[in-house]
Amino acid sequence: MEDHANAHTVIENADALARCRLSDGRYAHTLRVADTAADLARIHNLDEGRARLSALVHDSARETEPEEFLRLAREWDLPIGKPERQSPKLLHGPVAAELARRELGVEDREVLEAVRAHTTGKPGMGPLALALYVADKIEPARDYPSVERLRELAKEDLHMAAAESLRRAIAHNEGRGKDIHPSSREALEWLEADRTPQGGVEQ
Ligand SMILES: [Fe+2]
Ligand SMILES: [Fe+2]
């Protein structure tokens, strides 16, 4: 009972954190991702509350200034690679995960991993991280040619939906001459090679 009550409070606090840190538009996106992630969790037998919590937090640091991203990442000892130095907003996942830990007391490693990995993807990401990654790309306001197919795929298989979504993101960025984050390539390679069944033991 107490756990349930705590889960409820932390979700309310995550909602408040997103609300106070984000513009109306991005907060609305956050709520749509939370509903989408909760739907995917129900379909794939994941914990709906944890899916909702990761989604509420995922973009909470998105409206931080570039200098502030780098300052926080240094202060909190978050890894900063070349891509992050060139585009500090890539740090919004890792910084949001730290906000969740520090301001909401979230210690759930899978929730924190999901938040951390939602922008680039990451090899070895667990089912919750896959659900958030995909929910972010297929929430109802997303509109691009393959989105309907991805929505269908997401209901069937989160691994396949995440792989398809990463393929699309990589092709999109290559087409625009933008660098691809190494984690995205590694995540796609991992998804294409590894078919660990959901709920299977993570190595
Ligand atoms: Fe994001
Ligand atoms: Fe997002």
Mean pLDDT by 10 residues, the chain (203 residues): 72 98 98 98 98 98 97 97 95 98 97 97 97 98 95 97 96 91 96 66 46
Determine the distance separating the centroid of ligand 2 and the alpha carbon of 122, expressed in angstroms: 16
Determine the distance separating the centroid of ligand 2 and the alpha carbon of 113, expressed in angstroms: 15
Distance CA 197, CA 136 (A): 22
Determine the distance separating the centroid of ligand 1 and the alpha carbon of 42, expressed in angstroms: 22
Question: Counting ligands in written order, which one lies closest to the CA of residue 63?
Answer: 1
What is the reported pLDDT for 143? 96
Neighbours of ion ligand 1 (CB under 5 A): 59
What is the reported pLDDT for 56? 98
Burial 164-198 (b: 16+ CB within 10 A, else e): bbbebbbeeeeeeeeebbebbeebbebbeeeeeee
pTM, 2 dp: 0.92
What is the reported pLDDT for 7? 75
Determine the distance separating the centroid of ligand 2 and the alpha carbon of 136, expressed in angstroms: 5
Question: Counting ligands in written order, which one lies closest to the CA of residue 135?
Answer: 2
Distance CA 65, CA 139 (A): 25
The answer to whether the Cα torsion of 11, 13, 14, 19 is positive or negative is positive
Determine the distance separating the centroid of ligand 1 and the alpha carbon of 195, expressed in angstroms: 26
What is the reported pLDDT for 201? 47
What is the reported pLDDT for 197? 54
